[in-house]
């Protein structure tokens, strides 16, 4: 049986495993860095930052790939930042008609609260 593209697009979509620290919007990284006083981003231009993350993830180098997480984890150190990132990911996937999302976050990345 051959399935056409329109039929496949109409099916519900499920993302079973996504790391929260790997899905931030570039503009959000910039805003959160400013809020956190984090000054180590490679650029503060959203398009250039998106390209920087893309290049690092596609060089065939684990070290280059992991370098991006240094920045995303650094800006996700408050409850408010975590909430914003999770909300934005759900919002983005909703627009693409994803119906189930399972996010993963290592407990060591969660800020301690009193």
Query: Which domain does 65 fall in, by range?
Result: 16-108
101 occurs within a structural domain: yes
The CA distances from residue 89 to 1, 8, 15, 56, 85, in Å, are 34, 23, 11, 21, 6
Question: Is residue 49 included in any domain, yes or no?
Answer: yes
Is the entire prediction scored with pTM above 0.75?
A: yes
Q: What percent of the chain has pLDDT over 90?
A: 41
H or E stretch covering 31: helix 26-36
Interval 5-46: pLDDT, tens? 888 778 877 777 777 888 899 999 999 999 999 999 999 999
Whether 61 is in a domain gets the answer: yes
Q: Say if 94 falls within a structural domain.
A: yes
Is 1 a domain residue? no
Q: Tell whether 6 is covered by a domain.
A: no
Residue 5 placed within a domain: no
The answer to whether residue 4 sits within a structural domain is no
For the chain, the domain total comes to 1
């Amino acid at each position: 049986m051959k399935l056409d593209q329109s039929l496949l697009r109409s099916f519900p979509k499920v993302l079973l495993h996504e790391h929260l620290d790997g899905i931030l919007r570039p503009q959000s990284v910039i805003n959160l860095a400013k809020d956190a006083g984090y000054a180590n981003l490679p650029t503060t231009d959203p398009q250039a930052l998106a390209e920087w993350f893309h290049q690092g993830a596609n060089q065939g180098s684990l070290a280059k790939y992991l370098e991006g997480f240094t920045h995303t984890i650094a800006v996700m150190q408050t409850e408010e930042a975590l909430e914003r990132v999770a909300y934005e990911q759900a919002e983005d996937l909703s627009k693409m008609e994803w119906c189930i999302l399972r996010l993963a976050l290592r407990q060591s990345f969660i800020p301690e609260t009193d």
